[in-house]
Amino acid sequence: MPYRAVLGAITLVLVAALGGAAGQAPPRAPAIIPAGLGDETFLYGDRLYLIASGRAEGDETTQNRVVTTYQLPEARVIARTTIAVTGAVLGLEQIGDVLVLGYQFNTDGRQGVVAQAVGATTPLWRKTARFVQAATADGIALLDDGAGLIAVDVRTGALRWRVPGPAGGLLTPDGGPDGGYPRWLVLGSDSGQLATWDARTGRPLASTTLPTAAGLMWPVGDLVMVDVGNGYDAYRLPGLDRLWHTATDLSQSSVETDCGVIICMFRQQRGMTAVDPATGRAVWRSERWGYAEPFGSYLLAGAGPETPALSVLDPATGQVLGDFGDWQSLGPAGGGRLYGKKDAKGQYRIWYGLLDPATRQVEYLGTAERVSGNCQTAPIADPVLVCRLVDASYAVWHLR
């Protein structure tokens, strides 16, 4: 090819490339949220709550913890509330203008709950109990006070209702849709009683008698599995119609998640059994997986924290359809895809992008520098990625 023709072709390619680059906006710099090493964060919807590590007061066990509320995606401070607690904060929710914190006593391991209006200086109420969850629409906080489950008014702490726990059995909430507030409370007693209550009203719903004392019990999806000695019985929630009995060996196993079309039973170290929720039959087993979660018509599974590679399975057969290499899930992104990240080994850097389980393809979105971990996504209208940096502060990147 003549020299002038080659030069002309190269010139056209460079002009097109430079023109395209000029039309692209540079990536937005992340917003930075100052934080210290002992500070904690909780992310709910478009709010990020930063809880400062606090300082000892008086008896050296009580700490004043400043809760700073940030509005996402701009990371703008909208409130600061100082709350006195006696140990580590275990959970936090905001119901209306009230913050409810669950914490642990440093002295003996007991747990406490405190409620305080945003921006106020004194608590609305405080109780020695374990904070389970709050129902915003009903204005109640569900607590475990050791004698059973109680619902208290978020603003006053007044008792709304109580479901007493059995002396030798188990009283537990179901997982709730998408991990939200539970729908039902399920009780299995050593006398062989199985019963359900409405988790919003405390109203009794159904009861039945088991063939033997209830052992381990797992509410999962719309049923509850109960260890009856020679296997497991399954009952439909909340009416407690008996569905099936299985003698499948599920010893040393537990339910960690509702896997949609199957029940995922995980063994203590590694390995899982997929159980058909309609029959109790074990449909497949694998020694490979340490965790799994449903995503659309797929199952996303991994071996464990040490090997975080994410694989895509057919939940009906356990067949591995493909994987995302070293990419890890950060939660749903809409449109059948999810956000993910990949760590640069030996460096404080991550790549983040969109993962498509249908094609096992990754769409690169950006690179985040100086990241030490604790990355979460907020799937709001303007979605963001929040990660802790090496200096303990938090950075907020826009994902669109």
> If we measure between CA atoms, which residue out of 26, 104, 32, 18 comes closest to residue 63?
104
Positive or negative: CA dihedral 308, 310, 316, 318: negative
C-beta of residue 55 within 8 angstroms of C-beta of residue 64 = yes
CA distances from 1 to 7, 10, 12, 13, 335 (A): 10, 13, 16, 17, 48
Q: Could you give the CA distance from residue 125 to residue 116 in angstroms, rounded to a whole number?
A: 7
pLDDT band at residue 56 using 50, 70 and 90 as cut-offs: low
Whether this model's pTM surpasses 0.75? yes
Task: Look over the chain and give the mean of its residue pLDDT values, rounded to a whole number.
Answer: 87
Rounded Cα gap, residues 396 and 23, in angstroms: 25
List pLDDT tens digits, range 239-254: 999 999 988 877 778 8
φ/ψ bin of 388: left (φ > 0), alpha (ψ from -120 to 50), beta (otherwise) = beta
- Torsion sign over Cα 368, 369, 370, 373: positive
Q: What is the pLDDT of residue 55?
A: 63
Residues 6+ apart with CB under 8 A from 336: 296, 356, 357, 358
| pLDDT at 247 (0 to 100) | 85
**Is 372 within 8 Å of 355 (Cβ atoms)?**
no
Work out the percent of the chain whose per-residue pLDDT is above 90: 65
Model pLDDT for residues 345-371, shown as the tens digit of each residue: 889 999 999 999 999 999 999 999 999
The CA distances from residue 19 to 6, 12, 16, 247, in Å, are 20, 11, 5, 68
The whole-number average pLDDT for the span 322-332 is 92
- More confident of the two residues 47 and 216: 47
Question: Residue 13: what pLDDT?
Answer: 39
111 pLDDT higher than 70: yes
First to last CA, the chain: 44
| Token pair for 156 | 């006053």
pLDDT band, very low/low/confident/very high, at 41 (cuts 50, 70, 90): very high
Residue 57 pLDDT more than 60? no
What does the alpha-carbon distance between residue 51 and residue 394 come to, in Å, rounded to a whole number?
12
DSSP per residue, 127-173:
ESSEEEEEETTTTEEEEE-SSEEEEEETTT--EEEEEEPPTTSEEEE
Place 257 in a pLDDT band, splitting at 50, 70 and 90.
low
Whether residue 111 contacts residue 126, with contact meaning beta carbons closer than 8 Å, is answered with no
Closest of 109, 101, 27 to residue 69, by C-alpha: 101
